[in-house]
């Protein structure tokens, strides 16, 4: 039995609590070993995992003691980052796709970060929760609704926490808008839009050696995300990547905390963009083998969600066509709205009637306390600094064994958008209902995200 | 039998064509009487009808010979416009709600414009088509799908044309984008957005005397649109006003001309805005009788349409909340996209990768020939000049007895969005299928809108 598991079981036994499927994950005791430093492992040291490792190595309150990957190249890159920081090299697990199990069994980890291809997230998170480790799981859509349930039931049964690593919740403008929503500037929430609109053609295909726009290969001949991510566009038609949008919107509307997503309908366009990219690429062409691939993913997938509290949420998924990057946020309440694509805001009583204002004044005024406090430390962190705040929050929550602000119920319901949207599209945009992954606990749960300036 | 009816019946008899329900409206012979001037009537001389009358009186190729309304005040305002132009006063029909029938029977009209409250459009248009008059019908959503069918079958049976007066198709930027779509700059059409996002609270309520923001009254105590339009927000939950959005999008995607709308799903938020407006208005308040009205219209209604050719169309309806005016156009194809709310455009191969450009350069370059030619004449016409182009097109088509660019099939299918969205919302966003109002003629029909610089 591992240390963490032992502590949890002791705590639970001491309280006389029987662990049933319907209990929430228990708060763990703060860790005490390793000179007060959190022992962290990273499973998956691709480009994303390397970014997380870099942020961990910048800190002095945690030790990155183990890493796991199947790619020697990615492991070497990670070791180079470690050397740059002058830190002790972590133990390396690379014996194969299941080396992560060895790592979880042999290391006495306090926390683990999972940054592998999407389909590995859930089995790895489940294994880590079984081992009593505080789990940070990277974002993705789910393969099935059932694997969302598996996450929930495993967390409830083991008492292990799952922190769903949705970094966009920490974006500076997103957090300023959250402060405004909480102050009531927008009034009661009514209609929200969000999504993932990012021309990924140069990510989905490359030359097998370099990451961006370098060729027309994917799968076994591809490099980095092209190795595994592109296949989802071949086989699946739905909102494949919903969490960067729904994560922030969940904070604005208190999803799973007094509110929840009730049902959705989804609609997809025809599929053209990926095929045309292959045909038109200098290293592709009409005779390239990939020119015969039938991509199932509609180029633009639009999903509408209705919440219990009567808001509507539109999610845009748009990754196969030439376009500027945009998560497409629109936050609209009874007193005003913000549209990021315009950098425009309108607040009744403050803005001139029927007129947009530049949002900058408001975003500056409502800059979140976390950003004010840690702005300097965030410089150089990924995605405009927001990855610093994510990792900071993860580490601080893990150190205290606290329930994460985006927990296993959020992971399950946000990830479920993917298979539910596939179902809706497959049935001619029929409405599909969200399971209540909380079994009714959403009625009383409270939003704990970013109420102060600590973490 | 009226002159126009006689001419049409003679023509049809001469060609040996039997008029069946499934025939398209026949091309009428050009009119010859009245010294070569088109004889026009206007039913409904509210603020909208007055605008049309003003534009007719500016022209010397048509005579406005008759008007009809039930409001002495509106008739007096119309007479004042006539006097300003120094034109002969039209015959006035004002004996009651059915005076329009007298007018259609007693006058020998070539064309008639219908600009009455929404629920009167269809019966008046049907009556006018029965009389062989070339009909210009103002836009609205339909009350039922069946009344859309009635429009179609009446037009087919009588051979009379119906011009659906959708002015936004003539908006300068909308027409420039159409030129770009036709040149292929956006590639194949994929995803389009549009709608009607207009804070109408000050239109839906007034003091019964003046039009905008003057009070909390509607219905019998209201003035102008508040007299009749607001009641739709009390009783109906759907996209009440879809045509300003779908009209332009129909031109981009050739709806009813090689393409058609196949099904939709619709979703509405809760209703808050109109109640709060009444409660917070200085002449309203929590004790105002209208504070107890239960408005059924969700403040934001979102509708997704799937077309036969695989495009998706999102329609936004947003008229009860504080916000800037926006029809929300997004035109996205395989090679780029335009988003009006940002005045942003991205065209692959022209724009920097992953970057927006200001749309102005493109809108100037692709300025439509009609706007180039008639810009000066459009000055002062309503809605930024586009009402001039609409009326010009209507009159020139009517003079020639030509099939309108937005005809009875467009009217039927665009207006049907309203009852179909109500059905979808009532059934928890279930997909609802569009009737094919053309009975298959959409397969071969061609888009005739704005291919030159004449009209």
Residues of B in contact with A430 (CB under 8 A): 430-431
Other beta carbons within 10 angstroms of residue A47's beta carbon come to 14
Mutate to test the interface with A, among B191, B343, B348 (most CBs of A within 10 A): B191
Closest alpha carbon to B144 in B328, B343, B420 = B420
Predicted confidence (pLDDT) at residue A340 exceeds the cutoff of 70: yes
Residue in chain A nearest B323 by alpha carbon: A354
| SS3 (DSSP) at A376 | helix
Instruction: CATH 3.40.50.720 in chain B: give the residue spans.
Output: 3-167
CB contact under 8 A, B188 and A339: no
Cβ contact A346–B323 (<8 Å): yes
Q: Do A321 and B337 count as a contact with CB atoms less than 8 A apart?
A: yes
What is the number of helices (H) and of strands (E) in chain A?
A: 15, 15
Q: Which of A318, A325, A342 sits opposite B354 (nearest CB)?
A: A325
Least Cα distance to A44 among A103, A109, A88 occurs for A103
Q: What's residue B10's pLDDT?
A: 44
pLDDT digits (tens, 9 = 90+) for A64-103: 999 999 999 999 999 999 999 999 999 999 999 999 999 9
- Topology of domain B3-167 in CATH is Rossmann fold (3.40.50)
For residue B382, what pLDDT is reported? 85
What pLDDT score was predicted for residue A32? Answer: 59
For residue A254, give how far its alpha carbon lies from the nearest alpha carbon of chain B (Å). 16
Residue A300 near residue B312, CB atoms below 8 Å: yes
CA atoms within 13 A on the CB side of A286: 0
The structure tokens listed for A167 are 């970094």
HEC sequence for A397-420: HHHHCCCCCCCHHHHHHHHHHHHH
Backbone angles phi, psi at A263, to 5 degrees: -155, 165
Which of A199, A203, A267 is the best residue to mutate to test the B interface, defined by the most B CB atoms within 10 Å of its own CB? Answer: A267
Which chain A residues have a beta carbon less than 8 Å from that of B299? 190-191, 334
Bridging pattern class, strands A189-197 and A162-165:
unpaired
Return the HEC string of chain B: CCHHHHHHHHHHHHHCCCCCCCCCCCCCCCCCCHHHCEEEEEECCCHHHHHHHHHHHCCCCEEEEEEECCCHHHHHHHHHHHHHHCCCCCEEECCCCCHHHHHHHHCCCCEEEECCCHHHHHHHHHHHHHCCCEEEEECCCCCCHHHHHHHHHHHHHHCCCEEEECHHHHCHHHHHHHHHHHHCCCCCEEEEEEEEECCCHHHHCECCCCCCCCCCECHHHCCHHHHCCHHHHHHCCCCCCCHHHHHHHHHHHCECCCECEEEEEEEECCCCHHHHHHHHCCCCCCCCHHHHCCCCCCCEEEEEEEECCCCEEEEEEECCCCCCCECCCEEEECCEEEEHHHCEEEECCCCCCCCCEECHHHHHHCCCHHHHHHHHHHCCCCHHHHHHHHHHHHHHHHHHCCCCCCCHHHHHHHHHHHHHHHHHHHCCCCCEECCCCCCCHHHCCCCCCCCCCCC
- What is the per-residue pLDDT across A377-413, written as a single tens digit (0 to 9) for each? 999 888 889 999 999 999 999 999 999 999 999 999 9
> Using alpha carbons only, what angle is made at residue B248 by residues B455 and B53, rounded to the nearest 5 degrees?
50
Give the pLDDT of residue A9: 46
Question: Would you state the structure tokens that stand for residue A370, as one six-digit string?
Answer: 């976390």
Q: Contact A318/B267, CB-based, under 8 Å?
A: no
- Angstrom distance (rounded) from CA B389 to CA B370: 8
Indicate left, alpha or beta for B449 from its phi (over 0: left) and psi (-120 to 50: alpha).
beta
pTM, 2 dp: 0.94
Instruction: Describe the crossing of helices B172-183 and B369-378 by its angle, rounded to 10 degrees.
Output: 170
Q: Which of A199, A314, A324 is facing B356, going by the closest CB pair?
A: A324
- Regarding an ipTM greater than 0.90, the answer is yes
Closest to A190 in 3D by CA, of B269, B297, B304? B269
Q: Could you give the CA distance from residue A53 to residue A88 in angstroms, rounded to a whole number?
A: 13
Which residues in chain B touch residue A276, judged by CB atoms under 8 angstroms apart? 334
Among B321, B353, B424, the residue to mutate for chain A (most A Cβ within 10 A): B321
- Cβ-in-10-Å burial (0-12, 13-18, 19+) of B343 comes to middle
Does the beta-carbon distance from B311 to A268 stay under 8 Å?
no
From A406's Cα to the closest Cα of chain B, the distance in A is: 25
Contact A263 B311 (CB under 8 A): no
**Chain B residues in contact with A348 (beta carbon < 8 A):** 322
- Cβ atoms of residues B194 and B255 within 8 Å: no
Contact B269 A310 (CB under 8 A): yes
> Which of A185, A237, A263, A269 should be substituted to probe chain B, the one whose Cβ sees the most B Cβ atoms within 10 Å?
A269
Average pLDDT value for residue range A254-278: 98
Chain B residue closest to A299 (CA)?
B190
Mean pLDDT of the region A288-294: 98
Distance from CA of A265 to the nearest CA of B (A): 7
Q: Which of A12-21, A29-38, B89-98 has the highest mean pLDDT?
A: B89-98
Q: Which residues of A are less than 8 Å from B321 in CB distance?
A: 190, 332-334, 337
Using the predicted structure, report yes or no on whether residue A234 has a pLDDT greater than 70. yes
| DSSP string over A227-255 | GTHHHHHHH--S-S--HHHHHHHHHHHTB
Closest partner CB to A299 (pick from B190, B263, B314): B190
> Mean pLDDT score of chain A, rounded to an integer?
94
Interface contact B344-A339, CB threshold 8 A: no
Beta-bridge partner residues of A261 = A307
Start and end residues for every CATH 3.30.360.10 domain found in chain B: 169-369+408-443
Which chain A residues are Cβ-neighbours of B188 within 8 angstroms? 272
The partner residue sitting opposite A276, judged by closest CB among B322, B323, B334, is: B334
Section A420-425 average pLDDT: 98
Element containing residue A259 per DSSP (H, E): none
Q: Cβ–Cβ of B354/A429 closer than 8 Å?
A: no
B324–A355 C-beta distance less than 8 A:
yes
Contact in structure between A64 and A42 (CB atoms under 8 Å): yes
Q: Cβ contacts (< 8 Å) between B302 and chain A: which residues? A: 191, 304, 312, 314
CB A400 within 8 A of CB A394: no
The alpha-carbon gap from A338 to the nearest alpha carbon of chain B, in Å, equals: 10
Residue in chain A nearest B186 by alpha carbon: A322
> Chain B interface, mutation test: which of A185, A191, A325, A336, most B Cβ atoms within 10 Å?
A191
Contact between chains at A191 and B314 (C-beta distance less than 8 A): no
Task: Return the pLDDT at A382.
Answer: 85
- Contact list in B for residue A426 (CB cut-off 8 A) is none
Q: Report CA-CA distances (Å) from B66 to B13, B78, B90, B105, B391.
A: 31, 11, 5, 12, 17
Distances B15 to B291, B380, B449 between C-alpha atoms, Å: 62, 44, 27
Q: If you write DSSP's letter for every residue of A124-177 in order, what string do you get?
A: HHHHHHHTTPEEEEE----S-HHHHHHHHHHHHHH---EEEE-GGGG-HHHHHH
Q: Which of A300, A329, A426 has the highest number of chain B CBs within 10 A, making it the mutation to test binding with B? A: A300
Instruction: Please indicate whether, in this complex, the C-beta atoms of A334 and B191 are within 8 angstroms of each other.
Output: no
Do residue A190 and residue B311 have CB atoms under 8 angstroms apart? no
Q: Specify whether domain A169-369+408-443 bears CATH 3.20.20.100.
A: no
Asked if B342's CB is within 8 angstroms of A335's CB, the reply is no
Nearest to A322 among B304, B312, B346 (CB): B346
Q: Residue A384 half-sphere exposure, CB side, CA atoms within 13 Å?
A: 9
CB within 8 Å: A304 and B355: no
Q: What is the pLDDT tens value at each position of chain B, 455 positions in all?
A: 455 544 444 444 444 444 444 566 755 555 666 788 999 999 999 999 999 999 999 999 999 999 999 999 999 999 999 999 999 999 999 999 999 999 999 999 999 999 999 999 999 999 999 999 999 999 999 999 999 999 999 999 999 999 999 999 999 999 999 999 999 999 999 999 999 999 999 999 999 999 889 999 999 999 999 999 999 999 999 999 999 999 999 999 999 999 999 999 999 999 999 999 999 999 999 999 999 999 999 999 999 999 999 999 999 999 999 999 999 999 999 999 999 999 999 999 999 999 999 999 999 999 999 999 999 999 988 888 999 999 999 999 999 999 999 999 999 999 999 999 999 999 999 999 999 999 999 999 999 999 999 99
**Pairing of the two strands B344-347 and A300-307:** unpaired
Q: Do A321 and B190 touch (CB under 8 A)?
A: yes
Which of helix, strand or coil describes residue A267?
A: strand
Report whether A248 contacts A450 (CB < 8 A).
Answer: no
Residue A381: the pLDDT is: 87
pLDDT of residue B34: 79
Q: Which two tokens stand for residue A293?
A: 């691939």
Question: How far is residue A14 from each of residues A21, A130, A315, B18, B220, measured CA to CA in Å?
Answer: 19, 20, 45, 92, 72
CA pair distance A117, A139, nearest whole angstrom:
10
Q: Do B342 and A341 touch (CB under 8 A)?
A: yes
Contacts of A304 in chain B (CB under 8 A): 265, 267, 302, 304, 429
Quote the CA–CA distance of A33 and A20 in Å, as a whole number. 29
Q: How confident is the model at residue A4 (pLDDT cuts 50, 70, 90)?
A: low
What backbone phi and psi angles, to 5 degrees, belong to A258? 85, 0
Spatial distance between the Cα atoms of B46 and B392, rounded to a whole number of angstroms: 20
CB atoms within 10 A of CB A16: 6
Distance from A440 to chain B by nearest Cα, in Å? 22
A336-339: strand order across its sheet? A357-358, A344-347, A336-339, A330-333, A189-197, A312-318, A300-307, A261-268, A432-433
CA dist A162 and A397 (Å) reads: 11
| Lookup: tokens for B329 | 């156009």
- Work out the minimum CA distance from A348 to partner chain B, whole angstroms: 6
Tokens (6 digits) for B151: 């429009």
Cβ atoms of residues B224 and B208 within 8 Å: no
Q: Which chain B residues are Cβ-neighbours of A335 within 8 angstroms?
A: 322
CB-count exposure of residue A217 (10 Å: 0-12, 13-18, 19+): buried
Structure tokens at A45: 């040291």
Pick B354's closest partner by Cβ from A199, A265, A333: A199
Q: Which residues on B lie below 8 Å from A324 (Cβ)?
A: 344, 346, 354-356
Which residues does chain B have within 8 Å of residue A249's beta carbon, measured at their own beta carbons?
Answer: none
């Amino acid at each position: 039995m591992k240390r963490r598991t032992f502590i949890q079981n002791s705590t639970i036994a001491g309280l006389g609590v029987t662990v049933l499927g319907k209990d929430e994950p228990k708060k763990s005791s703060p860790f005490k070993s390793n000179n007060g430093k959190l022992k962290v492992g990273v499973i998956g040291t691709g480009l994303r995992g390397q970014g997380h490792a870099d942020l961990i190595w910048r800190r002095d309150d945690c030790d990155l003691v183990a890493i796991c990957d199947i790619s020697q190249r990615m492991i070497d890159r990670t070791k180079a980052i470690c050397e740059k920081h002058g830190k002790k090299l972590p133990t390396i697990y690379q014996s194969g796709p299941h080396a992560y199990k060895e790592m979880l069994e042999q290391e006495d980890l306090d926390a683990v970060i999972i940054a592998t291809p999407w389909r590995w997230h859930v089995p790895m998170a489940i294994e880590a929760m079984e081992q009593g480790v505080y789990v940070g799981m990277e974002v993705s859509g789910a393969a099935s609704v059932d694997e969302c349930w598996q996450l929930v039931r495993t967390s409830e049964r083991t008492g292990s926490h799952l922190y769903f690593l949705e970094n966009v919740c920490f974006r500076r403008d997103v957090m300023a808008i959250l402060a405004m929503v909480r102050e009531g500037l927008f009034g009661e929430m009514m209609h929200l839009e969000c999504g993932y609109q990012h021309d990924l053609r140069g990510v989905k295909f490359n030359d097998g050696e370099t990451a961006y726009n370098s060729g027309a290969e994917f799968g076994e001949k591809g490099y980095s995300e092209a190795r595994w991510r592109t296949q989802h566009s071949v086989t699946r038609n739905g909102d494949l990547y919903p969490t960067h949008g729904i994560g922030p919107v969940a904070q604005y509307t208190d999803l799973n905390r007094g509110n929840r997503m009730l049902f959705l309908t989804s609609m997809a366009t025809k599929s053209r963009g990926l095929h045309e990219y292959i045909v038109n690429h200098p290293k592709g062409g009409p005779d390239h083998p990939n020119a015969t691939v039938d991509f199932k993913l509609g180029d633009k997938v639009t999903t509408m969600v209705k919440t219990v509290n009567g808001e509507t949420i539109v999610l845009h998924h748009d990754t196969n066509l030439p376009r500027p990057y945009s998560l497409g946020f629109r936050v609209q309440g009874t007193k005003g709205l913000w549209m990021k694509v315009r950098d425009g805001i309108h607040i009744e009583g403050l803005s001139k009637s029927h007129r947009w204002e530049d949002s900058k004044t408001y975003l500056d005024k409502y800059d979140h306390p976390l950003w004010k406090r840690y702005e300097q430390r965030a410089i150089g962190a990924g995605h405009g600094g927001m990855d610093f705040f994510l990792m900071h929050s993860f580490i601080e929550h893990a150190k205290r064994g606290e329930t994460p602000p985006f927990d296993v119920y959020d992971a399950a319901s946000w990830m479920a958008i993917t298979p539910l949207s596939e179902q809706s599209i497959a049935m001619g945009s029929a409405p599909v209902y969200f399971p209540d992954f909380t079994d009714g606990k959403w009625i009383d749960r409270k939003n704990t995200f970013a109420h102060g300036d600590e973490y």
